[in-house]
Chains A and B, each alone.
Chain A
Protein backbone atom coordinates (compact mmCIF):
# COMPACT_ATOMS: atom_id res chain seq x y z
CA UNK A 1 0.00 0.00 0.00
CA UNK A 2 1.33 3.42 -0.86
CA UNK A 3 2.32 5.65 2.06
CA UNK A 4 -0.31 8.20 2.91
CA UNK A 5 -2.37 9.47 5.80
CA UNK A 6 -4.05 6.82 7.90
CA UNK A 7 -7.68 7.62 8.53
CA UNK A 8 -8.59 6.87 12.12
CA UNK A 9 -12.02 7.41 13.63
CA UNK A 10 -13.20 6.87 17.20
CA UNK A 11 -15.38 3.89 18.05
CA UNK A 12 -15.49 4.89 21.71
CA UNK A 13 -12.96 6.47 24.06
CA UNK A 14 -10.73 3.39 24.03
CA UNK A 15 -11.20 1.89 20.56
CA UNK A 16 -10.26 3.47 17.25
CA UNK A 17 -11.07 2.27 13.77
CA UNK A 18 -8.42 2.42 11.05
CA UNK A 19 -10.74 2.93 8.10
CA UNK A 20 -10.66 0.21 5.44
CA UNK A 21 -9.49 1.65 2.13
CA UNK A 22 -7.43 0.73 -0.89
CA UNK A 23 -6.03 -2.80 -0.78
CA UNK A 24 -6.97 -3.33 2.88
CA UNK A 25 -8.95 -6.57 3.26
CA UNK A 26 -10.26 -5.71 6.73
CA UNK A 27 -10.35 -2.62 8.91
CA UNK A 28 -7.91 -1.95 11.72
CA UNK A 29 -8.92 -1.60 15.36
CA UNK A 30 -6.57 0.00 17.86
CA UNK A 31 -6.99 0.12 21.64
CA UNK A 32 -5.72 3.38 23.12
CA UNK A 33 -6.66 6.56 24.88
CA UNK A 34 -6.16 9.84 23.08
CA UNK A 35 -2.63 10.38 24.43
CA UNK A 36 -1.40 6.91 23.45
CA UNK A 37 -3.03 7.23 20.03
CA UNK A 38 -1.18 10.48 19.35
CA UNK A 39 2.16 8.73 19.95
CA UNK A 40 1.15 5.90 17.62
CA UNK A 41 0.54 8.47 14.87
CA UNK A 42 3.99 9.96 15.44
CA UNK A 43 5.67 6.56 15.08
CA UNK A 44 3.87 5.45 11.93
CA UNK A 45 2.69 2.37 13.81
CA UNK A 46 -0.81 2.94 12.48
CA UNK A 47 0.52 2.66 8.92
CA UNK A 48 1.81 -0.75 9.90
CA UNK A 49 -1.63 -1.75 11.24
CA UNK A 50 -2.97 -0.73 7.83
CA UNK A 51 -0.27 -2.71 5.98
CA UNK A 52 -1.06 -5.89 7.92
CA UNK A 53 -4.74 -5.46 7.00
CA UNK A 54 -3.71 -5.89 3.33
CA UNK A 55 -2.37 -9.44 3.77
CA UNK A 56 -4.32 -12.37 2.28
CA UNK A 57 -6.65 -14.35 4.50
CA UNK A 58 -6.73 -11.92 7.43
CA UNK A 59 -9.85 -12.40 9.55
CA UNK A 60 -11.80 -9.82 11.55
CA UNK A 61 -9.46 -6.88 11.87
CA UNK A 62 -5.81 -5.93 12.07
CA UNK A 63 -5.49 -5.20 15.79
CA UNK A 64 -3.26 -2.84 17.76
CA UNK A 65 -2.84 -3.05 21.51
CA UNK A 66 -2.26 0.08 23.66
CA UNK A 67 1.52 -0.50 23.64
CA UNK A 68 1.53 -0.41 19.83
CA UNK A 69 4.73 0.95 18.34
CA UNK A 70 6.84 0.79 15.21
CA UNK A 71 8.21 -2.65 14.47
CA UNK A 72 9.64 -4.46 11.47
CA UNK A 73 6.83 -5.05 9.01
CA UNK A 74 4.19 -5.83 11.63
CA UNK A 75 3.91 -3.27 14.43
CA UNK A 76 4.93 -4.31 17.91
CA UNK A 77 1.72 -4.71 19.89
CA UNK A 78 0.00 -6.10 16.81
CA UNK A 79 -2.38 -9.06 16.61
CA UNK A 80 -3.59 -10.59 13.36
CA UNK A 81 -5.48 -13.84 12.76
CA UNK A 82 -5.48 -15.62 9.41
CA UNK A 83 -7.62 -18.32 7.87
CA UNK A 84 -5.20 -21.28 7.60
CA UNK A 85 -6.76 -22.30 4.26
CA UNK A 86 -6.50 -18.94 2.51
CA UNK A 87 -4.18 -16.91 4.68
CA UNK A 88 -0.48 -16.46 5.25
CA UNK A 89 2.18 -16.89 7.90
CA UNK A 90 4.78 -14.15 8.24
CA UNK A 91 8.08 -14.20 10.16
CA UNK A 92 7.62 -10.44 10.48
CA UNK A 93 4.39 -11.14 12.36
CA UNK A 94 6.29 -13.18 14.92
CA UNK A 95 9.45 -11.13 15.20
CA UNK A 96 13.14 -11.95 15.27
CA UNK A 97 13.08 -13.06 18.89
CA UNK A 98 10.72 -16.01 18.46
CA UNK A 99 8.82 -16.72 21.71
CA UNK A 100 10.23 -13.78 23.53
CA UNK A 101 8.15 -13.90 26.68
CA UNK A 102 7.92 -13.35 30.39
CA UNK A 103 8.01 -15.79 33.29
CA UNK A 104 6.74 -14.79 36.74
CA UNK A 105 7.90 -16.58 39.88
CA UNK A 106 6.66 -15.74 43.37
CA UNK A 107 7.68 -16.36 46.96
CA UNK A 108 5.99 -15.84 50.30
CA UNK A 109 9.22 -14.27 51.58
CA UNK A 110 8.69 -10.67 52.71
CA UNK A 111 10.29 -8.41 50.13
CA UNK A 112 11.77 -6.30 52.92
CA UNK A 113 13.87 -9.22 54.12
CA UNK A 114 14.98 -10.16 50.61
CA UNK A 115 15.76 -6.54 49.73
CA UNK A 116 18.11 -6.36 52.70
CA UNK A 117 20.30 -8.80 50.76
CA UNK A 118 19.77 -7.11 47.41
CA UNK A 119 23.43 -6.46 46.57
CA UNK A 120 24.41 -10.06 47.26
CA UNK A 121 21.36 -11.29 45.37
CA UNK A 122 22.20 -9.07 42.37
CA UNK A 123 25.74 -10.46 42.34
CA UNK A 124 24.50 -14.03 42.55
CA UNK A 125 21.89 -13.59 39.81
CA UNK A 126 24.38 -11.82 37.58
CA UNK A 127 26.75 -14.75 38.07
CA UNK A 128 24.12 -17.46 37.55
CA UNK A 129 22.52 -15.97 34.43
CA UNK A 130 24.95 -14.70 31.77
CA UNK A 131 23.75 -11.58 29.97
CA UNK A 132 24.82 -9.26 27.17
CA UNK A 133 25.65 -9.76 23.51
CA UNK A 134 26.47 -13.32 22.56
CA UNK A 135 26.28 -14.34 26.22
CA UNK A 136 27.03 -18.03 26.54
CA UNK A 137 27.28 -20.74 29.18
CA UNK A 138 30.47 -22.71 29.44
CA UNK A 139 28.71 -25.11 31.84
CA UNK A 140 25.90 -25.98 29.42
CA UNK A 141 27.04 -26.55 25.85
CA UNK A 142 24.56 -28.76 24.01
CA UNK A 143 25.73 -31.54 21.73
CA UNK A 144 23.69 -32.13 18.57
CA UNK A 145 21.42 -34.77 20.10
CA UNK A 146 20.69 -32.65 23.17
CA UNK A 147 19.96 -29.60 21.04
CA UNK A 148 17.50 -31.65 18.97
CA UNK A 149 15.83 -32.76 22.20
CA UNK A 150 15.56 -29.15 23.44
CA UNK A 151 14.04 -28.07 20.12
CA UNK A 152 11.46 -30.86 20.30
CA UNK A 153 10.69 -30.90 24.03
CA UNK A 154 11.07 -27.28 25.17
CA UNK A 155 10.79 -26.70 28.92
CA UNK A 156 9.99 -30.38 29.45
CA UNK A 157 13.57 -31.21 28.48
CA UNK A 158 14.88 -29.01 31.29
CA UNK A 159 12.37 -30.26 33.89
CA UNK A 160 13.24 -33.87 33.02
CA UNK A 161 16.83 -33.02 34.01
CA UNK A 162 15.76 -31.68 37.37
CA UNK A 163 15.84 -28.02 36.38
CA UNK A 164 12.40 -27.21 37.66
CA UNK A 165 9.35 -29.29 38.48
CA UNK A 166 6.22 -30.48 36.68
CA UNK A 167 4.15 -27.72 38.29
CA UNK A 168 6.23 -25.23 36.29
CA UNK A 169 5.02 -26.85 33.08
CA UNK A 170 1.37 -26.70 34.15
CA UNK A 171 1.81 -22.96 34.58
CA UNK A 172 3.47 -22.33 31.22
CA UNK A 173 1.64 -21.41 28.02
CA UNK A 174 1.20 -24.59 25.95
CA UNK A 175 2.72 -26.58 28.82
CA UNK A 176 6.16 -25.34 27.77
CA UNK A 177 6.29 -27.19 24.45
CA UNK A 178 4.75 -26.78 21.01
CA UNK A 179 4.39 -30.09 19.17
CA UNK A 180 5.53 -30.41 15.57
CA UNK A 181 8.94 -28.80 15.80
CA UNK A 182 10.85 -29.38 12.56
CA UNK A 183 14.42 -29.59 13.83
CA UNK A 184 15.71 -30.37 10.33
CA UNK A 185 14.60 -26.89 9.25
CA UNK A 186 16.81 -25.18 11.84
CA UNK A 187 19.99 -24.26 9.98
CA UNK A 188 23.50 -25.17 11.02
CA UNK A 189 24.18 -21.49 11.72
CA UNK A 190 21.13 -21.24 13.99
CA UNK A 191 22.19 -24.38 15.82
CA UNK A 192 25.72 -23.06 16.25
CA UNK A 193 24.40 -19.80 17.68
CA UNK A 194 22.10 -21.59 20.12
CA UNK A 195 24.19 -24.46 21.40
CA UNK A 196 25.81 -22.53 24.28
CA UNK A 197 23.05 -19.96 24.85
CA UNK A 198 20.52 -21.99 26.83
CA UNK A 199 20.10 -20.32 30.22
CA UNK A 200 21.26 -16.89 29.08
CA UNK A 201 19.44 -13.57 29.07
CA UNK A 202 20.80 -11.84 25.98
CA UNK A 203 20.81 -8.09 25.48
CA UNK A 204 18.66 -5.06 24.72
CA UNK A 205 15.44 -4.85 26.69
CA UNK A 206 15.78 -8.33 28.18
CA UNK A 207 16.00 -8.45 31.94
CA UNK A 208 15.71 -10.40 35.13
CA UNK A 209 14.34 -8.56 38.14
CA UNK A 210 13.31 -9.17 41.72
CA UNK A 211 10.19 -7.30 42.77
CA UNK A 212 8.08 -6.42 45.74
CA UNK A 213 4.36 -7.10 45.33
CA UNK A 214 3.51 -3.46 45.91
CA UNK A 215 -0.26 -3.58 45.57
CA UNK A 216 -2.94 -6.19 45.06
CA UNK A 217 -6.07 -5.13 43.19
CA UNK A 218 -7.83 -8.49 42.98
CA UNK A 219 -7.44 -10.59 46.13
CA UNK A 220 -9.02 -13.77 44.75
CA UNK A 221 -6.92 -13.81 41.58
CA UNK A 222 -3.76 -12.89 43.49
CA UNK A 223 -4.42 -15.65 46.00
CA UNK A 224 -4.78 -18.18 43.19
CA UNK A 225 -1.37 -17.06 41.92
CA UNK A 226 0.26 -17.03 45.36
CA UNK A 227 0.92 -13.30 45.12
CA UNK A 228 0.88 -11.67 48.53
CA UNK A 229 1.14 -7.93 49.09
CA UNK A 230 4.58 -7.11 50.47
CA UNK A 231 6.04 -10.46 49.39
CA UNK A 232 8.57 -11.22 46.66
CA UNK A 233 8.29 -11.94 42.94
CA UNK A 234 10.74 -12.50 40.07
CA UNK A 235 10.29 -11.54 36.42
CA UNK A 236 12.33 -13.14 33.62
CA UNK A 237 12.06 -11.52 30.18
CA UNK A 238 13.93 -13.16 27.29
CA UNK A 239 13.44 -15.41 24.28
CA UNK A 240 15.13 -17.77 21.85
CA UNK A 241 18.44 -15.88 21.63
CA UNK A 242 20.61 -16.16 18.52
CA UNK A 243 18.93 -19.40 17.46
CA UNK A 244 15.53 -17.75 17.06
CA UNK A 245 17.00 -14.69 15.35
CA UNK A 246 18.74 -16.93 12.86
CA UNK A 247 15.55 -18.88 12.09
CA UNK A 248 13.83 -15.60 11.24
CA UNK A 249 16.83 -14.37 9.22
CA UNK A 250 17.03 -17.66 7.31
CA UNK A 251 13.36 -17.64 6.31
CA UNK A 252 12.82 -13.99 5.38
CA UNK A 253 14.31 -14.39 1.86
CA UNK A 254 12.40 -17.66 1.43
CA UNK A 255 9.15 -15.89 2.32
CA UNK A 256 9.95 -12.91 0.09
CA UNK A 257 10.37 -15.26 -2.85
CA UNK A 258 7.17 -17.09 -1.94
CA UNK A 259 5.20 -13.83 -1.71
CA UNK A 260 6.45 -12.87 -5.17
CA UNK A 261 5.62 -16.30 -6.59
CA UNK A 262 2.09 -16.13 -5.18
CA UNK A 263 1.50 -12.56 -6.34
CA UNK A 264 1.31 -11.09 -2.85
CA UNK A 265 2.07 -7.37 -2.92
CA UNK A 266 4.24 -6.41 0.06
CA UNK A 267 4.09 -2.78 1.22
CA UNK A 268 7.22 -3.49 3.30
CA UNK A 269 9.67 -6.34 2.48
CA UNK A 270 9.72 -7.27 6.17
CA UNK A 271 6.06 -8.31 5.77
CA UNK A 272 7.40 -11.23 3.73
CA UNK A 273 4.96 -14.10 4.01
CA UNK A 274 3.79 -17.30 2.36
CA UNK A 275 0.41 -19.01 2.04
CA UNK A 276 0.14 -21.08 5.20
CA UNK A 277 -0.51 -24.33 3.33
CA UNK A 278 2.55 -23.88 1.06
CA UNK A 279 5.62 -26.08 1.65
CA UNK A 280 7.84 -23.09 2.48
CA UNK A 281 5.32 -21.82 5.04
CA UNK A 282 5.17 -25.23 6.69
CA UNK A 283 8.98 -25.35 6.80
CA UNK A 284 9.03 -21.97 8.58
CA UNK A 285 6.19 -22.97 10.92
CA UNK A 286 8.13 -26.10 11.93
CA UNK A 287 11.38 -24.19 12.45
CA UNK A 288 9.52 -21.47 14.37
CA UNK A 289 8.03 -24.08 16.71
CA UNK A 290 11.53 -25.46 17.34
CA UNK A 291 12.68 -21.95 18.27
CA UNK A 292 9.60 -21.49 20.47
CA UNK A 293 10.63 -24.62 22.36
CA UNK A 294 14.20 -23.37 22.70
CA UNK A 295 12.85 -20.20 24.33
CA UNK A 296 10.62 -22.15 26.74
CA UNK A 297 13.67 -24.23 27.73
CA UNK A 298 15.78 -21.09 28.06
CA UNK A 299 13.41 -19.48 30.57
CA UNK A 300 13.11 -22.81 32.39
CA UNK A 301 16.88 -23.08 32.86
CA UNK A 302 17.09 -19.44 33.93
CA UNK A 303 14.31 -20.00 36.48
CA UNK A 304 16.26 -22.92 37.91
CA UNK A 305 19.39 -20.77 38.26
CA UNK A 306 17.36 -18.02 39.90
CA UNK A 307 16.02 -20.51 42.44
CA UNK A 308 19.55 -21.64 43.21
CA UNK A 309 20.68 -18.05 43.71
CA UNK A 310 17.74 -17.39 46.05
CA UNK A 311 18.43 -20.51 48.11
CA UNK A 312 22.09 -19.56 48.46
CA UNK A 313 21.65 -15.88 49.26
CA UNK A 314 18.27 -15.66 50.99
CA UNK A 315 18.07 -19.18 52.41
CA UNK A 316 16.42 -22.52 51.69
CA UNK A 317 13.07 -21.19 52.94
CA UNK A 318 12.99 -18.76 49.99
CA UNK A 319 11.24 -21.10 47.59
CA UNK A 320 9.91 -19.68 44.35
CA UNK A 321 6.83 -21.16 42.70
CA UNK A 322 5.97 -20.45 39.09
CA UNK A 323 2.95 -18.23 38.59
CA UNK A 324 2.95 -18.34 34.79
CA UNK A 325 5.06 -18.09 31.63
CA UNK A 326 3.59 -16.27 28.62
CA UNK A 327 4.83 -15.81 25.06
CA UNK A 328 4.55 -12.46 23.33
CA UNK A 329 6.20 -13.17 19.92
CA UNK A 330 4.51 -16.17 18.34
CA UNK A 331 2.13 -17.55 15.71
CA UNK A 332 -0.16 -20.43 16.69
CA UNK A 333 -3.16 -22.32 15.47
CA UNK A 334 -5.97 -21.68 17.95
CA UNK A 335 -9.72 -22.10 17.99
CA UNK A 336 -11.77 -18.91 18.14
CA UNK A 337 -15.36 -17.87 17.57
CA UNK A 338 -15.91 -15.58 14.58
CA UNK A 339 -19.42 -14.39 13.70
CA UNK A 340 -20.84 -17.04 16.02
CA UNK A 341 -18.92 -19.93 14.46
CA UNK A 342 -15.97 -21.65 16.11
CA UNK A 343 -13.05 -22.11 13.71
CA UNK A 344 -9.34 -22.64 13.60
CA UNK A 345 -7.20 -19.54 13.04
CA UNK A 346 -3.50 -18.84 12.77
CA UNK A 347 -3.04 -16.08 15.34
CA UNK A 348 0.09 -13.92 15.10
CA UNK A 349 0.96 -12.08 18.30
CA UNK A 350 3.94 -9.77 17.91
CA UNK A 351 4.55 -7.93 21.14
CA UNK A 352 1.17 -9.11 22.34
CA UNK A 353 0.21 -11.60 25.04
CA UNK A 354 -2.37 -14.36 25.02
CA UNK A 355 -5.11 -13.41 27.51
CA UNK A 356 -7.65 -16.21 27.65
CA UNK A 357 -10.71 -15.56 29.83
CA UNK A 358 -12.07 -17.39 32.89
CA UNK A 359 -13.31 -20.85 32.04
CA UNK A 360 -11.14 -21.40 28.98
CA UNK A 361 -9.97 -25.02 28.86
CA UNK A 362 -6.37 -24.03 28.03
CA UNK A 363 -6.12 -21.93 31.18
CA UNK A 364 -4.50 -23.88 34.05
CA UNK A 365 -6.99 -25.28 36.56
CA UNK A 366 -5.73 -22.98 39.32
CA UNK A 367 -6.63 -19.92 37.25
CA UNK A 368 -9.77 -21.13 35.51
CA UNK A 369 -12.02 -19.09 37.76
CA UNK A 370 -10.05 -15.87 37.39
CA UNK A 371 -8.60 -16.03 33.86
CA UNK A 372 -5.18 -16.71 32.36
CA UNK A 373 -2.37 -14.67 33.96
CA UNK A 374 -1.01 -11.88 31.77
CA UNK A 375 2.37 -10.41 32.70
CA UNK A 376 3.12 -6.89 31.51
CA UNK A 377 6.58 -5.54 32.34
CA UNK A 378 7.20 -1.82 32.59
CA UNK A 379 10.61 -0.23 33.03
CA UNK A 380 13.40 -0.87 35.49
CA UNK A 381 12.60 2.08 37.75
CA UNK A 382 8.86 2.04 38.15
CA UNK A 383 6.61 -1.02 38.02
CA UNK A 384 5.20 -3.97 36.14
CA UNK A 385 1.67 -5.39 36.26
CA UNK A 386 0.00 -8.76 36.54
CA UNK A 387 -3.45 -9.09 35.00
CA UNK A 388 -5.86 -11.85 34.02
CA UNK A 389 -7.54 -12.28 30.64
CA UNK A 390 -11.21 -11.39 30.40
CA UNK A 391 -14.18 -12.07 28.15
CA UNK A 392 -13.58 -8.86 26.20
CA UNK A 393 -10.31 -10.27 24.87
CA UNK A 394 -12.08 -13.46 23.82
CA UNK A 395 -14.81 -11.52 22.01
CA UNK A 396 -12.70 -8.79 20.42
CA UNK A 397 -8.96 -9.58 20.16
CA UNK A 398 -8.60 -13.32 19.57
CA UNK A 399 -7.85 -13.68 23.29
CA UNK A 400 -4.98 -11.18 23.28
CA UNK A 401 -3.78 -8.15 25.17
CA UNK A 402 -0.76 -5.86 25.57
CA UNK A 403 2.79 -6.99 26.44
CA UNK A 404 4.71 -4.03 27.82
CA UNK A 405 5.25 -0.31 27.92
CA UNK A 406 6.90 0.43 24.57
CA UNK A 407 9.71 2.90 24.07
CA UNK A 408 9.04 6.61 24.39
CA UNK A 409 12.54 7.83 23.49
CA UNK A 410 14.93 6.70 20.78
CA UNK A 411 18.14 5.18 22.07
CA UNK A 412 20.02 8.28 20.90
CA UNK A 413 17.64 10.54 22.78
CA UNK A 414 17.86 8.36 25.88
CA UNK A 415 21.64 8.63 25.82
CA UNK A 416 21.49 12.38 25.39
CA UNK A 417 19.06 12.66 28.32
CA UNK A 418 21.31 10.66 30.61
CA UNK A 419 24.73 12.02 29.54
CA UNK A 420 25.02 14.24 32.61
CA UNK A 421 23.41 11.72 34.95
CA UNK A 422 24.39 8.55 36.73
CA UNK A 423 21.34 6.34 36.22
CA UNK A 424 22.84 3.46 38.20
CA UNK A 425 23.34 5.73 41.19
CA UNK A 426 19.85 7.24 40.85
CA UNK A 427 18.31 3.79 40.91
CA UNK A 428 20.49 2.69 43.81
CA UNK A 429 19.32 5.71 45.79
CA UNK A 430 15.79 4.49 45.20
CA UNK A 431 16.72 1.07 46.58
CA UNK A 432 17.16 -0.68 43.22
CA UNK A 433 20.38 -2.64 42.70
CA UNK A 434 21.26 -2.89 39.00
CA UNK A 435 23.78 -5.06 37.19
CA UNK A 436 24.16 -4.54 33.45
CA UNK A 437 26.44 -5.62 30.65
CA UNK A 438 27.32 -1.98 29.98
CA UNK A 439 26.69 1.55 31.19
CA UNK A 440 25.27 2.32 27.77
CA UNK A 441 22.57 -0.33 28.22
CA UNK A 442 21.50 1.27 31.48
CA UNK A 443 21.37 4.72 29.93
CA UNK A 444 19.41 3.55 26.89
CA UNK A 445 16.99 1.61 29.09
CA UNK A 446 16.54 4.27 31.78
CA UNK A 447 12.99 4.51 33.14
CA UNK A 448 12.12 7.70 31.27
CA UNK A 449 12.93 6.03 27.94
CA UNK A 450 9.71 4.04 28.25
CA UNK A 451 6.06 4.97 28.31
CA UNK A 452 4.30 4.65 31.64
CA UNK A 453 3.03 1.07 31.56
CA UNK A 454 0.23 2.07 33.95
CA UNK A 455 -1.35 4.01 31.06
CA UNK A 456 -1.14 0.92 28.86
CA UNK A 457 -2.69 -1.53 31.33
CA UNK A 458 -5.25 1.09 32.28
CA UNK A 459 -6.59 0.98 28.73
CA UNK A 460 -6.77 -2.81 28.51
CA UNK A 461 -8.51 -2.94 31.89
CA UNK A 462 -11.06 -0.27 30.98
CA UNK A 463 -11.65 -1.93 27.61
CA UNK A 464 -12.41 -5.23 29.36
CA UNK A 465 -9.57 -7.18 27.71
CA UNK A 466 -7.93 -8.00 31.05
CA UNK A 467 -8.34 -7.24 34.76
CA UNK A 468 -5.64 -5.84 37.03
CA UNK A 469 -4.40 -8.23 39.72
CA UNK A 470 -1.19 -6.77 41.15
CA UNK A 471 1.55 -4.20 40.74
CA UNK A 472 5.20 -5.22 41.14
CA UNK A 473 8.06 -2.83 41.93
CA UNK A 474 11.70 -3.83 41.35
CA UNK A 475 14.56 -3.83 43.85
CA UNK A 476 17.07 -5.94 41.88
CA UNK A 477 17.49 -5.60 38.10
CA UNK A 478 19.83 -7.58 35.83
CA UNK A 479 19.91 -6.01 32.36
CA UNK A 480 21.13 -7.75 29.26
Chain B
Protein backbone atom coordinates (compact mmCIF):
# COMPACT_ATOMS: atom_id res chain seq x y z
CA UNK B 1 0.00 0.00 0.00
CA UNK B 2 1.32 3.45 -0.88
CA UNK B 3 2.28 5.54 2.15
CA UNK B 4 -0.28 8.15 3.17
CA UNK B 5 2.41 10.75 3.82
CA UNK B 6 5.00 12.59 1.80
CA UNK B 7 7.99 14.61 2.88
CA UNK B 8 7.96 18.31 1.97
CA UNK B 9 11.08 20.34 1.12
CA UNK B 10 12.54 22.31 4.04
CA UNK B 11 15.95 24.00 4.34
CA UNK B 12 16.92 23.32 7.92
CA UNK B 13 14.40 20.80 9.21
CA UNK B 14 11.82 18.23 8.08
CA UNK B 15 8.17 18.60 7.12
CA UNK B 16 5.54 16.09 6.05
CA UNK B 17 2.01 16.07 4.72
CA UNK B 18 -0.41 13.27 5.60
CA UNK B 19 -3.86 12.47 4.27
CA UNK B 20 -6.43 10.04 5.69
CA UNK B 21 -10.16 9.29 5.53
CA UNK B 22 -10.84 10.32 9.14
CA UNK B 23 -9.41 12.29 12.08
CA UNK B 24 -8.45 9.07 13.87
CA UNK B 25 -6.70 7.76 10.77
CA UNK B 26 -4.95 11.12 10.33
CA UNK B 27 -3.42 10.85 13.82
CA UNK B 28 -2.34 7.30 12.99
CA UNK B 29 -0.75 8.32 9.68
CA UNK B 30 1.03 11.30 11.25
CA UNK B 31 2.44 8.96 13.89
CA UNK B 32 3.66 6.63 11.14
CA UNK B 33 5.28 9.57 9.34
CA UNK B 34 7.09 10.71 12.50
CA UNK B 35 8.45 7.19 12.96
CA UNK B 36 9.64 7.09 9.35
CA UNK B 37 11.60 10.32 9.88
CA UNK B 38 13.19 8.93 13.04
CA UNK B 39 13.96 5.50 11.64
CA UNK B 40 12.48 4.04 8.41
CA UNK B 41 10.50 0.89 9.07
CA UNK B 42 12.11 -2.19 7.58
CA UNK B 43 9.43 -4.61 8.71
CA UNK B 44 10.63 -5.09 12.28
CA UNK B 45 7.93 -6.18 14.76
CA UNK B 46 5.73 -3.44 16.20
CA UNK B 47 5.46 -5.12 19.56
CA UNK B 48 5.22 -2.25 22.00
CA UNK B 49 1.87 -0.78 22.99
CA UNK B 50 1.99 2.35 25.15
CA UNK B 51 -1.15 4.00 26.52
CA UNK B 52 -1.26 7.72 25.70
CA UNK B 53 -3.65 10.48 26.61
CA UNK B 54 -3.38 14.12 25.55
CA UNK B 55 -5.49 17.23 25.84
CA UNK B 56 -5.65 20.37 23.74
CA UNK B 57 -7.83 23.30 22.80
CA UNK B 58 -8.30 22.18 19.20
CA UNK B 59 -7.17 19.53 16.71
CA UNK B 60 -3.89 21.35 16.06
CA UNK B 61 -3.04 21.24 19.77
CA UNK B 62 -4.09 17.59 19.98
CA UNK B 63 -1.99 16.50 17.00
CA UNK B 64 1.11 18.33 18.26
CA UNK B 65 0.59 16.96 21.79
CA UNK B 66 0.13 13.38 20.54
CA UNK B 67 3.21 13.49 18.31
CA UNK B 68 5.24 15.15 21.08
CA UNK B 69 4.36 12.28 23.43
CA UNK B 70 5.31 9.80 20.71
CA UNK B 71 8.64 11.59 20.28
CA UNK B 72 9.29 11.49 24.02
CA UNK B 73 8.56 7.74 23.99
CA UNK B 74 11.38 7.38 21.50
CA UNK B 75 13.77 9.68 23.35
CA UNK B 76 13.18 7.97 26.69
CA UNK B 77 12.57 4.33 25.81
CA UNK B 78 13.72 3.90 22.20
CA UNK B 79 10.12 3.22 21.13
CA UNK B 80 9.95 4.15 17.44
CA UNK B 81 6.38 5.32 16.69
CA UNK B 82 4.71 3.09 14.11
CA UNK B 83 1.04 3.94 14.57
CA UNK B 84 -1.81 5.04 16.80
CA UNK B 85 -4.94 3.22 17.91
CA UNK B 86 -7.36 5.70 19.42
CA UNK B 87 -10.00 4.43 21.81
CA UNK B 88 -11.53 7.72 22.94
CA UNK B 89 -11.85 10.74 20.70
CA UNK B 90 -13.68 13.79 21.95
CA UNK B 91 -13.35 17.54 21.79
CA UNK B 92 -10.15 18.53 23.55
CA UNK B 93 -8.99 14.99 24.29
CA UNK B 94 -7.40 11.96 22.64
CA UNK B 95 -6.89 8.65 24.39
CA UNK B 96 -5.43 5.55 22.91
CA UNK B 97 -2.31 3.55 22.33
CA UNK B 98 0.99 4.35 20.69
CA UNK B 99 2.08 1.37 18.63
CA UNK B 100 5.86 1.23 18.60
CA UNK B 101 8.91 -0.71 17.59
CA UNK B 102 11.29 -1.28 20.49
CA UNK B 103 14.92 -0.30 19.76
CA UNK B 104 18.09 0.48 21.64
CA UNK B 105 19.05 4.03 20.49
CA UNK B 106 22.60 3.55 21.77
CA UNK B 107 23.18 0.63 19.39
CA UNK B 108 20.69 1.65 16.74
CA UNK B 109 20.91 5.44 16.43
CA UNK B 110 18.06 7.31 14.76
CA UNK B 111 18.19 8.09 11.09
CA UNK B 112 17.22 11.66 11.97
CA UNK B 113 17.30 13.33 15.37
CA UNK B 114 13.97 15.08 15.88
CA UNK B 115 14.05 17.66 18.67
CA UNK B 116 10.46 18.89 18.64
CA UNK B 117 7.10 18.83 16.87
CA UNK B 118 6.37 22.44 15.98
CA UNK B 119 3.30 24.59 15.32
CA UNK B 120 5.10 26.25 12.44
CA UNK B 121 2.88 26.26 9.33
CA UNK B 122 0.83 23.55 11.05
CA UNK B 123 -2.31 22.59 9.16
CA UNK B 124 -5.12 20.24 10.14
CA UNK B 125 -7.86 20.35 7.52
CA UNK B 126 -11.04 18.34 8.03
CA UNK B 127 -12.03 16.12 5.15
CA UNK B 128 -15.28 15.96 3.23
CA UNK B 129 -16.96 13.52 0.87
CA UNK B 130 -14.85 14.95 -1.90
CA UNK B 131 -11.49 15.15 -0.15
CA UNK B 132 -9.64 13.40 2.66
CA UNK B 133 -8.45 14.84 5.95
CA UNK B 134 -5.07 16.52 5.60
CA UNK B 135 -2.32 17.65 7.97
CA UNK B 136 1.04 19.37 7.49
CA UNK B 137 3.61 19.10 10.29
CA UNK B 138 7.09 20.63 10.58
CA UNK B 139 9.65 18.89 12.79
CA UNK B 140 12.57 20.65 14.48
CA UNK B 141 15.78 18.73 13.75
Contact = CB atoms under 8 A, between A and B. Distances in A.
Interface in B119-141: 119-122, 138, 140-141
A203 B119 contact: no
A248 B119 CA distance: 11
Nearest to A72: B120
Contact of B116 (A70, A248, A440): A248
Contact of A270 (B10, B12, B109, B119): B119
B57 A253 contact: yes
Contacts of B61: 253, 256
A225 B96 CA distance: 57
B119 A411 contact: no
Contacts of B109: 132-133, 437-438
A440 B112 CA distance: 8
Contact of A257 (B14, B57, B110): B57
B99 interface: no
Interface string B61-81: 100110010001001100000
Nearest to A91: B119
Contact of B105 (A43, A69, A133, A245): A133
Contact of B12 (A97, A249, A411): A411
A73 interface: yes
Interface in B14-57: 14, 56-57
Contacts of A132: 109, 113
How many of chain A's residues touch chain B, expressed as a range? 35 or more
Contact of A96 (B72, B112, B115, B121): B115
A269 B122 contact: yes
A256 B65 CA distance: 13
B11 A253 contact: no
B103 interface: no
A272 B14 CA distance: 21
B39 to A, nearest CB: 11
A72 B119 CA distance: 8
B12 A410 contact: yes
B82 to A, nearest CB: 19
Contacts of A407: 11-12
A193 interface: yes
A192 B109 CA distance: 21
Interface in A237-272: 242, 245, 248-249, 252-253, 256-257, 260, 268-270, 272
A379 B140 CA distance: 20
A184 interface: no
Interface string A212-248: 0000000000000000000000000000001001001
A272 B113 CA distance: 25
A431 interface: no
Given A245-B115, A248-B116, A269-B60, A189 B12 contact: no
B116 A245 contact: yes
A260 B60 CA distance: 14
A412 interface: yes
Which of B60, B61, B119 has the largest count of A CB atoms less than 10 A from its CB?
B119
Nearest to B61: A253
B9 interface: yes
Contact of A133 (B56, B113, B120): B113
A193 B138 CA distance: 22
A249 B75 contact: no
B9 to A, nearest CB: 6
Interface in A280-328: none
Contacts of B110: 133
Interface in B82-121: 105, 109-113, 115-121
28 contacts: A70-B11, A71-B120, A72-B119, A72-B140, A96-B115, A97-B115, A133-B109, A133-B110, A203-B113, A204-B115, A204-B141, A249-B117, A252-B119, A253-B57, A253-B64, A253-B65, A257-B57, A260-B57, A268-B121, A269-B119, A270-B118, A270-B119, A270-B120, A407-B11, A409-B11, A410-B9, A411-B14, A437-B109
Interface of B: 9-14, 56-57, 60-61, 64-65, 68, 72, 75-76, 105, 109-113, 115-122, 138, 140-141
